[in-house]
Amino acid sequence: MKTLYVGNLPWSTTSEELSAAFGPFVEVKSCRIITDRDTGRSRGFGFVEVAEADVQRAIEAVNGIMLGGRQIVVNEARPRQPRS
């Protein structure tokens, strides 16, 4: 299983819409939109989990497409860095 970072999402994007953007190209294992802890509002990015074999196909198929009027960015997620 690999996690993909999806950025430049419209604030109104739901997890279902994000999953639907990837659905025609790869099997989506899970998907989540990251929200602000205090307001609950989307932070404009999310993560999609796909099978390791599907990573390149997912990036090539979805990176740069228009979603809700914005061109989204898709790449392999990097591990979270500890805060100093």
User: Which residue ranges make up each domain of the chain?
Assistant: 2-76
Measured CA to CA, the distance from residue 81 to residue 84 in angstroms comes to 9
Average pLDDT over the chain, rounded to an integer: 94
CATH class of 2-76: alpha beta
pLDDT score of 82 more than 80 = no
Rg of the chain's alpha carbons, rounded to an integer? 12
pLDDT score of 69 more than 90 = yes
pLDDT at 42: 94
Residue carrying the six token digits 């999402």:
9
The residue ranking higher by pLDDT, 81 or 5, is: 5
Render pLDDT for 16-46 as a digit per residue (tens, 0 to 9): 999 999 999 999 999 999 999 999 999 999 9
